[in-house]
Structure 1
């Protein structure tokens, strides 16, 4: 069977290249694609484009990646000093969320992806979460990548069933979080300080949204613990691809 096609959103950043410094680029850490490919998904990167429907019609699954804050105007708040925003990415990803929901397209939303999903569908954010033992101020890169805290998963949730436990240890690379999930969604994981760490859809839409970065937990034991999430997502995309193939065959 053809591997399901998984689109992953990108982050527009200025990087140094042979053609000059600060060149604009649509970028994505390689760690996002690796577990999708390990689960036998085929990856395509998604920079902002006007053709949202055309893109979604060709995809079997969608990953909303991490990145900069969503512009506060999107949820009725104020710009924060020192923060950068990308309104074009915001608009593109919000359109992707609405289109994916209409189609029932499998979605894996990570960190910013969780936040932009909830903003798109009517939820709210904590713009800057209080500092606690679980959520310390953003630090240097090495410290930030190494930071861990525990989470509690709701019994009977899809995530608890996937991981086979209701307690886990995850990383933390964020300063914002969901305040109230959008209508039709519910929180299913929390840090010890009460911060929402995961959200699921109320119905049968294959939608997983996590505040931590499972793709950045790359130590062998942690990566193995995170693979059930990627495997479930790619499996749902594979089922969708098979349904589309059967439907196309039936119309011939």
Structure 2
């Protein structure tokens, strides 16, 4: 069976290369594509460009990756001092969300991706998560990657079906979170301090949106647990690919 075609959004950064310092590039950590490929997907990267409809018409699934903050002006808040924003990425990913929802394309939204999802559909964010035992200020490097906290997942949700449990431990690499939840979205996982850690659609749209970074939980035991989420998402993309192909044959 043909692999489902899944697009992952990228992060525009400045990188030193042989052609000079601080060269602008569209980047993505390799850990995003690896579990999707392991689950049976063919992967393509999506830099913020035009042609959103043409891109979505060729995709079976969409991953909204992590990255820098969405501009707070998109949900009525002032920009933060010292922060840089990427308006082109914000605009592109919001358009992808709206187009994917219209088409019913399965979406996996990770960290910033979950925040983009909420903003695109009319919600807001908490600009800085209040400090708590489970959400401390953002740290550096290995310490941030190692941070963990428990969550509770709603029974009967897509998320609990993906993992097979309702209590888990996840990583903590964010300083923002969902504020007002957008219409049509449901909270389905929470940290002990009340922060929403996952959301889904209330109308059957195959959406898995998580505040943690499943792709960065790479220890053998954690990676095996997280692969189940990627597998459920890829399976939904495969199902959509079959449905579209069947419909196209019927038209011919």
Unpaired segments ≥5 residues, structure 2: none
Kindly report which structure 2 residues correspond to 1:9-48, keeping only aligned pairs within 5 A, or say none. 9-48=9-48
Query: Residue 244 of structure 2 corresponds to which residue in structure 1?
Result: 244
1:109-120 correspondence to structure 2 within 5 Å = 109-120=109-120
TM-score, scaled relative to structure 1: 0.99
Equivalent residue number for residue 226 of structure 1: 226
Matched, 1:151 2:151: yes
For residues 82 and 187 of structure 2, the distance between their equivalents in structure 1, rounded to whole angstroms, comes to 30
How far is 1:226 from its partner? 0.6
**Alpha-carbon distance in 2 for matches of 1:118, 1:13:** 24
**2:126 — aligned with what?**
126
What is the root-mean-square deviation of aligned Cα atoms in Å? 0.7
Distance in 1 (alpha carbons) for counterparts of 2:82 and 2:169: 30
Q: What residue ranges of structure 1 are gaps of 5+ in the alignment?
A: none
Separation of aligned partners in 2, 1:162 and 1:231: 8
Q: Which digits, 9 at most, give the CA deviation of each residue in 1:127-182, with x for residues without a partner? A: 10111111111111110000000001112111112211110000000000001221
Counterpart secondary structure, 1:123: coil
- Trace 1:32-181 onto structure 2 (pairs within 5 A): 32-181=32-181
Tell me what 1:203 maps to: 203
**Structure 1: distance between partners of 2:202 and 2:4:** 25
1:162, 1:245 → 2: CA distance? 26
Aligned counterpart, 1:214 = 214
Once the two structures are superposed, residues 177-223 of structure 1 have per-residue CA deviations (whole angstroms, 9 ceiling, x without a partner) of 00122101110101111111000100110001000000000001000
Instruction: Give the SS at the match of 1:226.
Output: helix
Q: d(CA) in 2 for partners of 1:148 and 1:16?
A: 32
Q: In 2, distance between residues paired with 1:134 and 1:5?
A: 36
Give the count of matched residue pairs: 252
1:8 to partner: Cα distance:
0.1
SS state at 1:100 partner: helix
* TM-score, normalised by the number of residues in structure 2: 0.99
4+ runs deviating over 3 angstroms: none
In structure 2, distance between residues paired with 1:119 and 1:215: 23
User: Deviation of residue 55 (structure 1)?
Assistant: 0.2
Q: Distance in 2 between matches of 1:200 and 1:17?
A: 40
SS for the counterpart of 1:193 is coil
- Shift in Å, 1:251: 2.1
